[in-house]
A = this chain, B = another copy of it.
Amino acid sequence: MGSWVWGFVTDFFTYETTKSVVVKSWSVGIINRIVQLLIITYFVCWVFIHEKAYQSTDTGIESSVMTKVKGFGYHHNHVMDVADYVSPPQGAGVFCIMTKLIITENQFQGKCAETGKRFSCNTDEDCHKHLGSILSNGVITGTCLNSSDGSKGMCEIEGWCPAENDGVVVMPMLDVNNFTIFIKNSIRFPLFNVTRGNFPSTMNSSEIKSCKYNPDTNPFCPIFRVGDVLNYTGQDVENLAAKGGEIGINIEWKCNLDLSIDYCVPKYSFTRLDEPFSRNAVSKGYNFRFAKYFKTENGTDFRTLHKAYAIRFDVMVTGNAGRFDTVPTLINLVAAFTSIGLGAVLCDLILLNFLKGAEQYKAKKFEEVSDAQIEASLAQSPGSLVSLKGGIKSSCDSGAMSLAASDQQL
């Protein structure tokens, strides 16, 4: 029993290594080394240095954005300030600067004439086809209101009266060009618990108040002139202010946390978000309607309807951070080493097929054993097994052994 255990232990603490054929041939040798060099170069330069395969990456960036607009504009002979033209007012990451307002004052609930040309009529029948329309300014009643001067009449609506006429020409507030947007963005990479703000803590109060963002000279200033932002997106302020539009302010954080945290800085870019729709003839620009509600002395509600053409700014924060991690490093290292072995496939092909003396190489590389041989050897000399057995492990443990052996082949 004791000797059996001892035998097992001595069998276990062995080391298997593959038997190799060393081919001293210049042609195959050089090809072999070149292929290995190419594979190593690829892995070192592309996979590890460029793609940073040794890092684990946190893409789940957490972000908080605060914005503040400043500036004054003239519109409808009023001076508009932030409280007038920014909506919603809370200074979130998505906000609109209203640049053109079509104002319909003193609307009361009641019945009145539609305004759009489409709703002109001679008889009630002309209006019946619009029943249930959602493109009117109120519920179409089906009645045609004839005008007093004998010209074409208009379909009657029920709702807020008088109806809005959004065909009027209103000059947009071009002063928007000089407005400034202050953006405060703090981010966190939860995986690495790293927190960053979008302007350096070394910037002092007066610097921040006086600077203007410029991608070249002042890339970390958090104050953006609206005119500049529109320029960067290649947009025309007149057009945008008149029709509205959506501008994306993208803050990109690409942080290599293996370097100093000071290199983890934001990069701003600006795009027109409704670009993909520029080829469509419909739904250009951006506008929305809202109302301010009032009460008469006797308690009747009335409202002022605003159709607001606005430039909407979406501050979008994206980014990822990478830091050295053992798991991806190991997996990629193993892949690299294994890939080097792939070079052998090419060399084997050349060696065993295209080289002078290929058959001799084959004879050296491959040792053949066939069923027939084994059977012959079994039949001929059953006793010879003993002589063979010297170097062979006992049957029961060779499973584990050969598994381990095979591992080394992988």
Contacts and interface: CB of A to CB of B under 8 A. Distances in A.
A90 to B, nearest CB: 5
- 7 closest A-B pairs by beta carbon, nearest first, are A368-B391, A197-B276, A13-B29, A357-B374, A24-B370, A79-B159, A89-B290
A248 B90 contact: no
Q: Which of A10, A51, A276, A362 has the most CB of B within 10 A?
A: A276
Contacts of A338: 334, 337-338, 410
A19 B68 CA distance: 74
Contacts of A359: 385, 388-389, 392, 395
A291 B84 contact: yes
Interface stretch (A146-154, A229-237, A401-409): A401-409
Given A18-B18, A64-B274, A81-B138, 18 more contacts: A15-B32, A20-B405, A22-B369, A25-B370, A134-B178, A134-B179, A186-B273, A186-B274, A201-B279, A208-B282, A293-B304, A334-B410, A340-B410, A356-B378, A359-B395, A361-B369, A363-B392, A410-B410
B361 A402 contact: no
B407 A341 contact: yes
Interface in A181-196: 182, 184, 186, 188, 190, 195-196
Given A290-B83, A291-B84, A365-B20, A398 B352 contact: yes
Given A29-B13, A286-B66, A405 B348 contact: yes
A166 interface: no
Contact of A83 (B29, B305, B351): B305
A342 interface: yes
A53 B327 contact: yes
A158 interface: yes
Interface string A371-403: 111110110000001001111110100110011
A201 B326 CA distance: 40
Contact of A349 (B25, B96, B280, B402): B402
Contacts of A47: 327, 330
Contacts of A282: 203-205, 208-209
24 contacts: A12-B33, A14-B29, A15-B28, A15-B351, A19-B19, A20-B408, A24-B368, A64-B248, A64-B273, A79-B138, A105-B299, A134-B179, A197-B277, A204-B282, A205-B282, A330-B339, A334-B335, A348-B402, A348-B403, A348-B406, A352-B398, A357-B371, A359-B388, A366-B391
A408 B362 contact: no
Interface in A96-119: 96, 105-106, 109
Contacts of A402: 345, 348-349, 352-353
Contacts of A13: 26, 29-30, 32-33
A269 to B, nearest CB: 9
A123 interface: no
A57 B201 CA distance: 35
A265 interface: no
Nearest to A370: B24
Interface string A5-43: 000001011111111111111101111110010000000
A246 interface: yes
Nearest to A371: B25
A122 interface: no
Which of A70, A89, A105 has its CB near the most chain B CB atoms (within 10 A)?
A: A89
A344 interface: yes
A19 B21 contact: yes
Contacts of A204: 280-282
